[in-house]
Chains A and B, each alone.
Chain A
């Protein structure tokens, strides 16, 4: 019979690396503060003195000032906490691959649901692309992905679902397949359902790096809905009525 995994302890756990033999769990050597997504702690060893690590919501008074200068993504505040204390903190994210990255005086944009944790030295902002967050500054962050992350250089067009994030290059624009556009202009194909499923891509240009995941099954993102919701304010009554019609049609089709 095969033996169970060798038990790990603070003496054998890595400092800031994946748990040995496990892409799906990551051990952070915490000493200070870390921004992390709510509920991603799977276990921790308290540091010397046995003081428990505290997980504080961003609205907590003791960290409020620091949060306000570091975290400017109001839509996402409820999904993040600050872990404070010392010890070995093990994180898991629904069985997705977890990797750490270093950002050196740079900026990097990630799909919000793929960003797992980041150092307090980094600054977080909501990207102009819905569902994405931008990290600015110098520090470490953790990202989860469905399958390993692949790095690519622009110019490149990627499937929106496979996109994890991008660094240094300008924000992407939408690219629509030429034949699909022709059909759309003649208002035929697009509405008759003759879609290949690949008619829309994100188009990256300029110098930088694009991060892709090997699976198109994206991480479910509850924030996207909220972001869309926050944008309907500017539509006015006619716009809202129109949107209602569109949604009703879509619902009828999906049933």
Chain B
């Protein structure tokens, strides 16, 4: 595993040390040493089955494989970077909020319920699993981590959702009435409810 570290809060630095890392296409801002960049392929480097699933679900992901020796710096739209460590567990993330994945992590697509049908955030979510570090992005300010426990369920705006981790049960809450249709909705027609035990990461900006 390559050491992931932050330079400030918006730039991710990865020391490759002969290994490789997968990152969002076009997110490299600078590097030194001898590094090659190549498109990770249709499925973001997770094989044909994942690629077809992504194709079918629209939860697209554009990743590049960076390998060699040296330090590579990644950033995207001046968004804040959040590092999440995975020890064999699974992270559910919004695909467009993925910045980089260390070696040893793989991605897949999971059905996430009828999430965010209004905002085009898709019915599916990207899962990241394995051992390693995932770098995620937060728009509009630093990410906020919120704990979910049996005592404290959590409701989140799908447009502010970045990722969730742990034993969580995700349900889709609708608040659609005839008022929504005439443009006098509550503004929160679709939301995500999390029950169980885990952590949910959100960003201060609604997409």
Contacts and interface: CB of A to CB of B under 8 A. Distances in A.
A5 B160 CA distance: 16
Interface stretch (A38-46, A131-139, A175-183, A241-249): A38-46
A5 B188 contact: no
A4 B4 CA distance: 12
Interface residues of B toward A: which range? 35 or more
Contacts of B175: 55
Nearest to A11: B152
A38 B157 CA distance: 12
A193 B99 CA distance: 45
Interface string A63-103: 00000000000000010010000000010111100000000
Interface string B152-184: 111111011000000000000101000100011
Interface stretch (B32-40, B46-54, B68-76, B143-151): B143-151
B145 A95 contact: no
A181 to B, nearest CB: 41
Interface stretch (B18-26, B58-66, B108-116, B197-205): B197-205
Contact of B154 (A1, A4, A43, A55): A43
Interface string A1-40: 1111111111000000001011111000000000001111
A78 B183 contact: yes
Contact of B205 (A19, A38, A44, A92): A92
Contacts of B199: 7
A50 B206 contact: no
Contacts of A43: 144, 146, 154-157, 160, 200, 202
B155 A4 contact: no
B6 A5 contact: no
Contacts of B42: none
A92 B145 contact: no
Nearest to A19: B144
Given A43-B202, A59-B179, A92-B205, A5 B141 contact: no
Contacts of B153: 45-46, 50
B5 A8 contact: no
A42 B202 contact: yes
Contacts of A95: 139-141, 204-205
Contacts of B143: 4-5
A45 B154 contact: yes
A203 B200 CA distance: 47
B140 A57 contact: no
A42 B187 contact: no
B133 interface: yes
Given A25-B141, A95-B139, A1 B187 contact: no
B154 to A, nearest CB: 6
B144 A9 contact: no
8 contacts: A4-B143, A19-B144, A25-B141, A39-B157, A59-B179, A90-B202, A92-B160, A92-B203
Q: Which 5 A-B pairs have the closest CB atoms?
A: A95-B140, A24-B141, A38-B187, A24-B204, A55-B186
Given A22-B142, A50-B153, 10 more contacts: A4-B85, A8-B145, A8-B146, A25-B141, A43-B146, A45-B152, A46-B153, A53-B155, A57-B179, A57-B184
Interface of B: 3-6, 82-85, 133, 139-147, 149, 152-157, 159-160, 173, 175, 179, 183-188, 191, 199-206
Interface of A: 1-10, 19, 21-25, 37-46, 50, 52-60, 78, 81, 90, 92-95
